[in-house]
Chain A
């Protein structure tokens, strides 16, 4: 009995020693890959940050309204955020590469899925960023045009334009990454449809006089009062 226990223990220790001997080089390789990956990711972060500063990315982000959002959420600047994002993605990629060297069964599939997901995540983020840029630009353009045309609900119009474009960009981004595709699509269709339907009802029922005045102003000869309202600038 005693011999059996000793023999089993010896075998277990030998097996563990063999396993350690088997995994130790791989573990060291993994650590080396992670370490080298950290250095490369850090260099990438530095490179991306310099490139973004060179291309005045922060100004673009400010114009897009992203800087304001980040500031409100107590997050770092857009340049810093993007460069940190690149760092973590690159380093996580290297760490996963290192983990795959360990040869743990079933892990390879998850790692390959992660690498397959990265380009889609990148595309989704790009779409979201340009969606924010477009939303900011077009909502501001709508606001200025409405104010200069003496439209009373200029701010509301501008907010609506921004809201619709952001919802549109979000639904596209979610579709690209494959998260809640249908939910987002339905949400967008519902919001957009509701907004248009609401506007149609509001303008059709509540705005009959406004519509009449608008058409009269456009189609009928200008009244004297309208001409008197503006100083000729040139």
Chain B
């Protein structure tokens, strides 16, 4: 259990009233009244269908909602669902809501839910995003079952996405996490996942939330702790994933995911520096499925943003990248839309040089992360153009090739980690 916690007396009273539970479902909310209803209904239906005998509690950590989010959670009735599904839970379903602050803070929300789960001695805690409008009752089973019955410590999701959605995950987070930590987790930054009680206790006890990477990306830091601590990790196919509202602000998304991943490299160097290659992770359900319907993207504008970024940020990129890589970027920035190509190997070297500069703090670390955004846009354009007419298999093959580049060039990262080139 965490030595220090920020739980309010009211929240503690609610937890004491519940006693002990088997499973906790956590919801971190902020003005989600529009979407929370169907999400709660799906969670309740999932509980009725899959865990009727288990003691389950829903914990809602709210970051100062001005709408009816908390009331909707607290007043959610399970009776209608019981009638509809003709199944009956043998236990009372508790639903509590706590306001941890007046402004949303994902780290604080996650910590509140995990500490609540820890105090309730839950065997499994399932985190669900309140804006996952495509959630189905089976998601709960797919996330909780591997942890609750098969003793997995972390269950990561696999989503069915639109063709060009989740580009940062595909182009950076997955390949880099895989090459650095040696596990093929497709969604290291899932908005839905399940954690075992054991991993929660260790996560809170290790004080990771007090470290840079824990504060920056609390969700990805759980994944990294699970990978570096040799916990049992698996992934489970959930279903269709709508583009997350978390991803609308590109800089914030990169900061929260890539920033946390880069920051995690410092303290975990003894672990990852010895890892070579990668191992597959136990996967429940279909490994990957892609929705073929692709979002429309303005390619010309993406190229403009990349080229303008490379040109305007030259003094900043000079402090981060090696001269040869920067001149290569300048060369591709001058290409037209149709012949534009940001090759996988060049992208891999770019990411690794950014990681090494982040480690050495060549300039302010947040500035390093922000400087990566225009380059990521360039790589996204190549991803888009390569896969415009590609099948699922083509996309998967290219993804695998990119991951192979990240694994092959890992010695380059180790080399520049200690000594700047």
Q: Which residues of A contact B (CB under 8 A)?
A: 59, 62-63, 137, 140-141, 143-148, 150, 152, 154-155, 225, 228-234
B298 touches A143 (CB 8 A): no
Q: Is the CB of B316 within 8 A of A144?
A: yes
Cβ of B385 within 8 Å of any chain A Cβ, yes or no, is no
Task: List 16 contacting pairs A-B, 8 Å CB cutoff, sorted by A.
Answer: A59-B361, A140-B315, A140-B363, A144-B313, A144-B370, A145-B370, A147-B313, A230-B250, A231-B167, A232-B167, A232-B295, A233-B253, A233-B376, A234-B166, A234-B169, A234-B253
Question: Do residues A148 and B364 form an inter-chain contact, with CB atoms below 8 A?
Answer: no
A233–B166 touching, CB < 8 Å: yes
Contact A137–B169 (Cβ < 8 Å)? no
CB of B374 within 8 A of CB of A234, answer no
Nearest CB of A to B318, in Å: 10
Mask of B186-221 contacts with A, CB within 8 angstroms, 1/0: 000101000000000000000000000000000000
Cross-interface CB contact of A232 among B165, B301, B371, cutoff 8 Å: B165
Contact A155 B247 (CB under 8 A): no
B367 and A144: CB pair below 8 A? Answer: yes
CA distance A137 to B316 in the complex (A): 11
Other-chain residue from A137, A144, A152, A231 in contact with B371 (beta carbon distance below 8 A): A144
Chain B residues contacting A150 (CB-CB under 8 Å) are 304-305, 308
A137-B364, A148-B374 known; A233-B312 Cβ under 8 A:
no
Report the nearest A residue to B296, measured CB to CB: A228
- B297 close to A231 (CB less than 8 A): yes
- Is the Cβ of A231 less than 8 Å from the Cβ of B169? no
In the complex, chain A residues whose CB is within 8 Å of the CB of B257 = 234
Our pick among B298, B309, B363, B370 for the contact of A228 (Cβ within 8 Å) is: B298
- Summed over the interface, the residue pairs from A and B with CB atoms below 8 Å come to a total of 88
Contact A148 B250 (CB under 8 A): yes
Contact A229 B297 (CB under 8 A): yes
Q: Is the CB of B247 within 8 A of A229?
A: no
Distance to closest chain A CB from B214 (angstroms) = 19
* Bound Cα distance from A228 to B294, whole angstroms: 11
Q: How far is the CA of A152 from the CA of B309 in the complex (A)?
A: 10
Task: Provide the main secondary structure of the chain A interface.
Answer: helix
The B299-338 residues at the A interface (CB cut-off 8 A) are 301-302, 304-305, 308-309, 312-313, 315-316, 319
| A140 to B312 Cα, complex, angstroms | 11
B287 CB within 8 Å of chain A: no
Determine if B312 and A154 form an interchain contact, defined as CB atoms under 8 angstroms apart.
yes
A148: which B residues are within 8 A, CB to CB? Answer: 250-251, 309, 370, 373-374
**How big is the B interface, by class?**
35 or more
Residues of B within 8 A of A63 (CB): 363-364
* A59: nearest chain-B partner, CB-CB: B361
Please measure, in the bound complex, the distance between the C-alpha atom of A147 and the C-alpha atom of B319, giving whole angstroms.
Answer: 17
Chain B residues, CB < 8 A from A230? 250, 297
Judge whether B316 and A143 touch: CB under 8 Å: yes
- Provided the pairs A144-B316, A147-B374, A234-B166 are in contact, do residues A229 and B367 lie with their beta carbons within 8 angstroms? no
Asked whether B316 lies within 8 Å of A233 as measured between CB atoms, the reply is no
Residues of B within 8 A of A233 (CB): 166-169, 247, 250, 253-254, 376
B96 touches A (CB below 8 Å): no
Q: Would B384 and A231 count as touching, CB distance under 8 A?
A: yes
Does B357 belong to the interface (CB within 8 Å)?
Answer: no
Judged by a CB distance under 8 angstroms, whether B380 is at the interface is: yes
Q: Provide the bound-state CA to CA distance between A155 and B311, in Å.
A: 9
Residues of B within 8 A of A155 (CB): 312
Contact B297–A228 (Cβ < 8 Å): yes
List of A residues within 8 angstroms of B364 by Cβ: 63, 137, 140
| Complex Cα spacing A70 to B286, Å | 60
Interface residue? B164 (CB, 8 A)? yes
Choose among A137, A152, A230 the residue with the greatest number of B CB atoms under 10 Å from its CB. A230
Q: Which residues of A contact B304 (CB under 8 A)?
A: 150
With contacts A232-B165, A232-B167, A234-B253 known, is A147 near B308, CB below 8 A? yes
